[in-house]
Amino acid sequence: MLLIHCPFCGPRSEIEFSYGGPAAPPRPDDPAQLSDADWVDWLTVPENRIGPVPERWCHSKGCGAWLTIVRDTRTHEILEVRHGA
């Protein structure tokens, strides 16, 4: 169980959080302008890296903040936590 340092609430247990998936690049402003292939790439091709990976977590049973967390998938070490993207 991870220990996540919420910038608003301090260190809290993983059970208070909801996982929001790996952090995607920013959503395109006008998806209609993208080619089909570019849209599919943005939507469905995650990196799945070994090592530090940015993820979204929501402190859903705490303050409700959506956080971006950089977590090392080998060690679970959390290298960075920030509010928002």
- By the criterion CB under 8 A, which residues form the site for other proteins? 1-3, 13, 18, 20, 26-27, 30-32, 34, 36, 39-40, 43-44, 56, 58, 60, 64-66, 68, 75-76, 78, 83-85
Q: Least Å distance between CB 77 and Zn ion?
A: 20
Q: Which does 79 bind (CB under 5 to 8 A by kind): Zn ion, other proteins, none?
A: none
- Token pair listed for 46: 């995650």
Please give the Cα distance from 42 to 46 (Å, whole number). Answer: 8
The partner residues of 54 in beta bridges, in order of sequence, read: 70
Please give the Cα distance from 30 to 3 (Å, whole number). Answer: 37
